[in-house]
Structure 1
Amino acid sequence: MKVRKLLFVVVSLFLLLQQSVFAEAKQEKGKHSASSTMKVSFYSEALGQNMRMNVYLPPDYEAKEKYPVLYVLHAYKLNEDHWFQALHITEQADTLIAAGKIEPMIIVAPEIDNSWGMNSADEKKIWLGDPTDPGAWYEGRYEDYVTKDVVGYIDGHFKSDKSRNSRYIGGTSMGGYAALHIGFRNTQLFSKVGGHAPAVFQDELWKPLFDWMYPTEADRNAKDPLRLAATAKLNQTSVYLDCGDLDEFKIATGKLNEILSGRKLKHYEFHLIPGGKHDDAYWSGQMASYLTFYGGMDKK
Structure 2
Amino acid sequence: MLKQIIQKLIILPALCLFLNAQAAKVDTVTVHSQIMNRDIKAVVITPAKYSKKANYPVVYLLHGFSGNYADWISKDPAVAGLADRYNCLIVCPDGAFASWYIDSPVNSYWMFDTYVSKELVAYIDSHFSTVKDRTGRAITGLSMGGHGAITMGINHQDVYGAVGSMSGCMDLRPYKNDFAIKQILGEYDKDPKSWLDHSATGMVGKLKPGALKIIFDCGSDDFFAGINNAFHQQLLDAKIPHDYTVRPGGHTWEYWSNSVNYQMLFFQRYFNKLN
TM-score normalised by structure 2 residue count: 0.82
Aligned to 1:9: none
Against the structure 1 CA distance between its residues 94 and 220, is the aligned structure 2 distance closer, same or farther, given a 3 Å change threshold?
A: closer
1:153-168 equivalences in 2 (<5 Å): 153-168=123-138
Answering whether residue 235 of structure 2 is matched by residue 260 of structure 1, we say yes
For residues 243 and 53 of structure 2, what CA distance do their matches in structure 1 show? Answer: 30
Q: Percent identity?
A: 24
Against the structure 1 CA distance between its residues 105 and 94, is the aligned structure 2 distance closer, same or farther, given a 3 Å change threshold?
A: closer
Q: Which runs of 5+ in 2 are unaligned?
A: 1-20
1:86-235 equivalences in 2 (<5 Å): 86-93=75-82, 97=85, 102=86, 104-113=87-96, 114-120=98-104, 121=106, 123-124=108-109, 140-201=110-171, 203-207=173-177, 209=180, 213=185, 215-233=190-208, 235=210
Moved over 6 A (4+): none
Against the structure 1 CA distance between its residues 60 and 143, is the aligned structure 2 distance closer, same or farther, given a 3 Å change threshold?
A: same
Q: Cα deviation per residue 1:29-72 (whole Å; 9 max; x = unaligned)?
A: xxx84321100112111211110000010121017421111101
For residues 204 and 155 of structure 2, what CA distance do their matches in structure 1 show? Answer: 10
Q: Secondary structure at the match of 1:61?
A: coil
Q: Is the 8 A contact 1:92 1:288 kept in 2?
A: no
Structure ID, larger Rg:
1
Aligned to 1:288: 261
Q: Which runs of 5+ in 1 are unaligned?
A: 1-31, 125-139
Against the structure 1 CA distance between its residues 293 and 88, is the aligned structure 2 distance closer, same or farther, given a 3 Å change threshold?
A: farther
Letter in 2 for 1:45: Q
Q: Please, which of 269, 275, 279 is the counterpart of residue 252 of structure 2?
A: 279
Q: Is the 8 A contact 1:171 1:178 kept in 2?
A: yes
Give the CA deviation at 1:158: 0.4
Please say which of residues 62-71 and 192-201 is displaced more in the overlay.
62-71
Query: For this pair of structures, how many residues does the alignment match?
Result: 246
